Structures are given as C-alpha cells and as structure tokens.
C-alpha cells in the first residue's frame, strides 16, 4: 500500500500520531478533525496515500465510492440524524491543506464555526 513518510495522515494510519478514531477497516480510516468546524466533524481517508482527487484514477473509484457510502453510516452512529455536509478540498485553490485525500463529514446543530 502506498505511503508517504512525510504525510501527517499516513502517520495517523501508521499509528505514529494519535487520533480519535471512529472507524477503521483494511482500506479506510475515519477520525475526528483536530479543529472541528461543526459539533461533529470527522475526516474519512483512504489508508493508501493518494495526494489529491487529481491523483485518483479508475483504480480508486470503488474506494471513493466506499467513502461516500460510509459517511451516512458513521454520522448515524455518531447521533447525527438531521443532515450533514461532505467536503473534499482539492489542490491549493480548492483550500486543501493536507495533501492526502480526505473527506470532511460535518454535522450537528448549527451554527457551525465555518461553512
Ligand atoms: P483541508 O484544508 O486539507 O481540507 O483539511 C485538513 C483538515 O485536517 C483540517 O480541518 C485540520 O483541522 C485537520 N488536521 C490537520 N492535522 C491534523 C491532525 O494531526 N489530526 C487531526 N485529527 N486532524 C488534523
Ligand atoms: Zn498520506
């Protein structure tokens, strides 16, 4: 599985940096964002290092499909039953700060800090 030793999310996958995990399987990991914008704000990532959505190829389609499928399940499990937002920032002008693909999944009562 591809991994980048300098990538902060690869370090979380490897257990080198702690994170509040909410879900894990062979391909995917979900954990709470360290600076939440919403009452519930998790990041859903592939365990393999894919820097941005620009770098995703046809071989990743099932993986990204699984991420989208998992989002509502995790929100339900976290008690978010009244709607949530999914955001994938891509590239510098897309507001991406961590270059390991991640889906923000945010929910809970408003107002939120951002968005
Ligand atoms: P981006 O702007 O790249 O879409 O979002 C990156 C997100 O990762 C930000 O919301 C930021 O708070 C979160 N983040 C950055 N470093 C860490 C970390 O070490 N642990 C956790 N849990 N979240 C992080
Ligand atoms: Zn990475």
Rounded to the nearest angstrom, the distance between the alpha carbon of 35 and the centre of ligand 1 is 7
CATH of range 8-107; options 3.40.640.10, 3.30.70.20, 3.30.428.10, 3.30.470.10: 3.30.428.10
Which tens digits make up the pLDDT trace of 7-48? 999 999 999 999 999 999 999 999 999 999 999 999 999 999
Does residue 55 sit in helix, strand or coil?
helix
Q: Does the global pTM surpass 0.75?
A: yes
Answer whether residue 54 shows pLDDT above 80: yes
How far apart are alpha carbons 30 and 23 in whole angstroms?
A: 5
Which tens digits make up the pLDDT trace of 93-113? 999 999 999 999 999 999 999
pLDDT of residue 115: 76
| Cβ neighbours around 80 below 10 Å, total | 20
Is the beta carbon of 95 within 6 A of some atom in ligand 1? yes
Q: Which atom of ligand 1 lies nearest, measured to the CA of 89? A: 4
Domain boundaries, the chain: 8-107
Q: Whose CA is nearest to atom 12 of ligand 1?
A: 35
């Amino acid at each position: 599985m591809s991994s980048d030793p300098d990538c902060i999310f690869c370090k979380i996958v490897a257990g080198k940096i702690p994170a509040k995990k909410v879900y894990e399987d062979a391909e995917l990991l979900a954990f709470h964002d360290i600076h939440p914008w919403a009452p519930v704000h998790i990041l859903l990532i592939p365990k393999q290092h894919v820097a941005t959505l620009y770098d995703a190829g046809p071989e990743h389609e099932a993986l990204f499909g699984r991420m989208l499928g998992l989002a509502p399940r995790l929100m339900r499990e976290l008690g978010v039953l009244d709607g949530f937002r999914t955001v994938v920032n891509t590239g510098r002008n897309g507001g991406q700060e961590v270059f390991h693909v991640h889906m923000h999944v945010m929910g809970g009562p408003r107002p939120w800090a951002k968005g």
